[in-house]
Structure 1
Amino acid sequence: MGMDRPRNWLGARTTILLPVLVAVLSFVTGVVNISAVSISGPLGDLIPRSIQRTAGFTGALTGFTLLVSVVGLRRRLRIAWYATIVLLPVAAVQGLVQNSAVTLPFVGPVPSSAVSIPLVVLSLISLPAMLLNRRRFDRPIDLSTAQLAAGAALLGSLMYGTAGSYALRDDFTNLSTATDAFYYTLVTASTVGYGDVTPQSQQAKLFGMSVVVLGTASFAIALGSLLGPAIEKRLSEALGNMTDAQLDLLENHVLVLGHGDLTEPIIEELTGAIDFVVITPDTETATRLQQQDIAVLTADPSDEEPMQRAGIEDAVAVVAATNDDAQDALAILTAQTLNPEVNIVAAATDRENIEKLRRAGADTVISPAVLGGHLIVQSALGREGMENIADHLLDVNDEDDADI
């Protein structure tokens, strides 16, 4: 229950960092192989020609998709966990396929093992880490009605454009397959419009105009639904709040419930020693702490919801040290209910509240006023060494910080 609990090297941060490295290596490997004419290594005869031609850009695409999955992992989404579990073996297979001699135009055979072998190894290492931390990624995807509608509109417009242009393929130039139809719909709806596929009949032109209207509208709606959360994030930071992604990565940290005169020296001691989150209802205080790069959540420190958001189930300790013992007692009672195993330390402003804070669930209760008064009185009575005792307490705290 102490603060010297060792860090879990296969925790959430490591589990998320490994797919990031795999994504970067997959992207680099894909770029290295994207201009390959053929793969002629030991696996060359086993790989179909179509796969050889697409091995490069699909590797880069896998890397990009993995990065998108990592964004979901940061929010502990279950669907992101499933996507990563699928993509990691794909990245490993692509690395194995591309671990051959790549024939480049005007250059000749070039080995790509410098990046493909680390890609395979990291992909295989990442899988056990993901499986061991499966329980951490248990949050269902939470899409608003507007986001669902935006996704449905975008998907519907792409399906409409692809099916319609393929049905009218005889009225278009350079359009003969479903892939051509999807390509035309995508570049038209996104307003890129390369001009290589053009309508020839009146009916095809009218259909093309409908694709422009529906496609651009659906893209605009989808973009708005994506920008909304980003704007909300900016507002949260301006109000002194951590984002959900930042909160979800916390583990083996300390929760500081409330903020007062006693809290400032506690924050100074914790800074740089261990991760911690301050929960305070004061917006001005939260903003000031946020500007000092201190993790803070603007909420009532005695409520269950902010404690759960701040990851009390993964915390090593809870500290309640404000100027209001009654508020501290409520916060301690809630924290003890949510995580009976967590070490709870409280500072009592009034000495008569020491037992009350213990009954509320605090494991350790310290009265700074009583402790300081005792040292001062003993010094006034001529007891020697009181100052040395205070210095010794500070030295012990420094040693404990070094062990964290």
Structure 2
Amino acid sequence: MHRDDQTPHYHLYRPSRTPVWLALSWRALLAFALIGIALAVHWFDRDGLRQSSGAPVTFADILYFTMITVTTVGYGDIVPVTQQARLFDTFVVTPIRLFVWLIFLGTAYDFLLKNVWQRWRMSVIQQQLRDHVVIAGFGNSGSEAASELIRRGAHPDTIVVIDEDSAALRRAEALGVAVMEGNATRDAALQAVRVGTASALIVAAGRDDTSILIVLTARRIAPALPVSVVIRSQDNEAIARQAGANTVINPASFAGLLLAGSTHGAHLADYMADLAATDGRVALRERPVTAAEVGMALRTITTGLGHRIYRGDAMFGFWEREAQCLEAGDVILEVIPATPPGTPPVA
């Protein structure tokens, strides 16, 4: 497990979805358009302007006067002398001056001060992270997990993605989740995403050795944290469980189960996919036994079709003797009718 002798600083971030060049271009065009309006009117009404030297007012003088007037209050070497020119400076140039300054100040805020503000805001969010889901690795499996969580009603703000690949983080940002660039095998990185206060950790690093190391690091920081990990090699599944993973998923093995099941019945794989899909007609639910259900048989519960119970470290099917009398502390695994995302399951 990695130790952090020199602890790096990790920060969550959600960069603006508008490209920097586009934001700068729009602001520059708006500023030049406003200045252009003032320049054009000053030029057409140049007879209303006088130089203190008495020299004729040229286009260069108009350009100079416009820029000075828009950006400051002027130096007094060129002044409006007619009523029309003064009214134009009062009711048009002065508002233009204010708008241009607001554009300049807004740009300075967005590209200078806002960075400091965003770092402070994200630091506060970081400190207050509770009951969130951390996804370590945003490849195919990690991105599918994040998308599925959102489809099932999870708010993007409750999901934090950590990855070293900036391209992967940009894809994660498109979902609206919080992201952090960092190495999830390091203590400091997992502590920065507050893995100790998370509701779950999903590990999908893409390499079994890296994923197992992340599980070890997380388990050391958060001994009770539910950890799910994607493992590619069947030989590493037992190692991942020994490392502390609660759930080990092998995509190849699961696909093999579906394929093998399809050879024993045309509808077996379809039903398994239905259970796993967000938009399926049925869904799996895990819940603790209620006080009213203690003493009942698993097959007689009314909230769904009871399939299994978990009693301590043991698992029993609905046909086994232990499942004929539910006990306090049992965990029920049942099939229920699917509900729209965000809607509480059938009670």
TM bucket by the smaller chain? Answer: 0.3 to 0.5
Structure having the higher strand fraction is: 2
Task: Give the structure with the higher percent helix.
Answer: 1
Structure 1 or 2, whichever has the larger Rg, is 2
Compute the TM-score of the two structures, normalised by the length of structure 1: 0.39
